[in-house]
Amino acid sequence: MIDMTYRRSITIILFCVLSFCLAVFIWLFVLNLPPESSPAVPVEIVIERGMSARDISLLLEERGIIRSSRYFRVYSKLTGRSRSFKAGKHPVDKPMTMTAIVRLLTTNPPVPPDIRVTVIEGLNIPETASVLAEKAGIDSARFVTLAGDSALARTLGVDKNSLEGYLYPDTYFVRPGTEPENMIRRMVAHFHEVFADTLEDRASELGMTVSEVVTLASIIECEVTIDRERPIVSSVFHRRLARNRPLEANPTIQYALGEKRRILYEDLTIDSPYNTYIHSGLPPGPIASPGRKSILAALYPVDTSFLYFVADGNGGHIFSKTIGEHKKAVREYRKTMRKARAQRSR
């Protein structure tokens, strides 16, 4: 009788243990499955340097990639993977089990994180290519070639022989080794976003094409460093254009020379359509990529009587209405420069 009771007790205990193990197995099996709300489209999991297994588990649970952050941590610790997660971007192309996610984040080489690249205003195509090559590893030679391709320019809505002036300056997050054409398309698309319909309407009011506005804005960009002076310089150029007088803008000479250096008297006679000392009107196209402030200045010049300006030696300009005032300002500028050189030579 005792033997039968003992056997029955053992059987009950074994049944309970097996039932418990089965329940735990089913529970763990379910926790390992992708959540019902798991994203059906590809997503990227970004693991920052220094993130712990707990940080990663909470991120995955929040994104709907796994069912249980706690189970993720326990599993990764028991399997010895909790310290092996790789920083960077990990593409998840489809819903995956939790164990597969752990393997993905610890064994697959991650996609390098995007690099923050700032392209400042006033750069021409080669200079822009150089920045992108240095910061993000983009093929600069290929970039320059494509940016000068008239067929690509027209495809991107720019009716010019090159994309000079339309590679919008801004801060971009760039994946290392991005194809040059993809970067170009992105920058030109950003230009079109900035140069919205309202700005095109304003250009029409002025009797200017978008290309003419961008060309003028690019010259303003290269001439001015103080924001409040942009609309004033724009006013000078608009008045000169209206009177069919040469713009006499040094940055266009530098563009024609192919280098940014101090302009000499003999440079002012260079045979180039970009020589705004011998040719009236705007040059054939932009000389650099202008930012929004210079574009707005080109479209909205202030009302002045100025026809001349010269650098004041401190980053700004002296504006004049008459040639006599201008010549005096030039003499003052040269005097300031001589003093500065004398002080440097001491």
The CATH number assigned to the domain holding 95 equals 3.30.1490.480
How many other C-beta atoms lie within 10 A of the C-beta of residue 71?
A: 17
Same domain, 214 and 294: yes
How many other C-beta atoms lie within 10 A of the C-beta of residue 91?
A: 12
Distance CA 238, CA 281 (A): 10
Residue 7 lies in a domain: yes
Distance CA 189, CA 259 (A): 28
The total number of structural domains in the chain stands at: 4
Q: Residue 44: helix, strand or coil by DSSP?
A: strand
Same domain, 95 and 186: no
Same domain, 121 and 48: no
Residue 201 lies in a domain: yes
What is the sign of the dihedral through the CA atoms of 255, 258, 260 and 265? Answer: negative
Domain that holds residue 59: 33-107
Same domain, 26 and 43: no
Report residue 13 as tokens.
């205990």
Residue 314 lies in a domain: no
Single pTM value for the model: 0.73
Per-residue pLDDT of the chain (346 residues; tens, 9 = 90+): 556 676 676 777 776 767 666 665 675 666 667 777 667 667 888 888 888 889 998 988 888 888 888 888 888 888 888 888 888 788 887 788 888 888 888 887 766 778 899 999 999 999 999 999 999 999 999 999 999 999 999 999 999 999 999 999 999 999 888 999 999 999 999 999 999 999 999 999 999 999 999 999 999 999 999 999 999 999 999 999 999 999 999 999 999 999 988 889 899 999 999 999 999 999 999 999 999 999 999 999 999 999 999 998 888 999 999 999 999 988 888 887 777 777 776 6
163 backbone dihedrals φ, ψ, rounded to 5°? -100, 20
Residue 317 lies in a domain: no
In 3D space, the residue among 257, 295, 289, 319 whose CA is nearest the CA of residue 162 turns out to be 289
Residue 312 lies in a domain: no
